[in-house]
Chains A and B, each alone.
Chain A
Amino acid sequence: GAGVSQTPSNKVTEKGKYVELRCDPISGHTALYWYRQSLGQGPEFLIYFQGTGAADDSGLPNDRFFAVRPEGSVSTLKIQRTERGDSAVYLCASSTAVNNEQFFGPGTRLTVL
């Protein structure tokens, strides 16, 4: 079946602009996670959804970052007033339940010029 998909695969933007990154989880997966992977680093947790609600957003670096999952399926990560330090690969993962294996998407590479 289809895996986790993320769009766009690449996004180049200018400093100060607003961007949205989309994640389509595996159908039926109730848990959804966002991670950020900077160059040469491992992924870092950003936020976790169980259904429609953000169960833990403690990894969001500041209030410029926000994520939604209005219908409990697709999720959008929103970044306002982008900064060069936001450049990274943003990974999305989903799982059937909170303690189960997380399946990762290919990521969106964000470059802020």
Chain B
Amino acid sequence: GEDVEQSLFLSVREGDSSVINCTYTDSSSTYLYWYKQEPGAGLQLLTYIFSNMDMKQDQRLTVLLNKKDKHLSLRIADTQTGDSAIYFCAFSGATSGTYKYIFGTGTRLKVLA
């Protein structure tokens, strides 16, 4: 079955860049997403990338996709304390079904003031 892995924790200082990594096994993934989850709140879509793209930039967020290595990363520039949350990568695609999101285990980002 599909497998999506993320490191559990990341701690950075305010103003530094954060890089959250994700590896996946399903090479047929069509859409790859990054979600943010804050305590007591629902999942918030931050950005997504199509599988035919290598990079996408959206304000402070940069997504890099290495299809050969099946590696997805999210870079947050100038990280702020409000960025502290759990970040999930997720994908949908031919194998999982485009309606079914497969999520990683989540990376808890802690931003130190």
Contacts and interface: CB of A to CB of B under 8 A. Distances in A.
A105 interface: yes
Contact of B42 (A44, A48, A91, A99): A91
A104 B90 CA distance: 14
A42 B88 contact: yes
B13 interface: no
Contacts, number: 55
Interface in A23-76: 31, 33, 35, 40-45, 48, 55-56, 59
Interface size class of B (residues with CB under 8 A): 20 to 34
Nearest to B98: A99
Contact of A98 (B44, B98, B105): B98
Given A42-B88, A106-B41, A56 B100 contact: yes
Say whether chain B's binding surface is mostly helix, strand, loop, or mixed. Answer: strand
Interface string A97-113: 01101111111000000
Interface of A: 3-4, 31, 33, 35, 40-45, 48, 55-56, 59, 91, 93, 98-99, 101-107
20 contacts: A3-B42, A4-B42, A40-B106, A41-B105, A41-B106, A42-B88, A42-B103, A42-B106, A43-B43, A43-B101, A45-B102, A56-B99, A91-B42, A98-B98, A99-B99, A101-B45, A103-B45, A104-B42, A104-B44, A106-B41
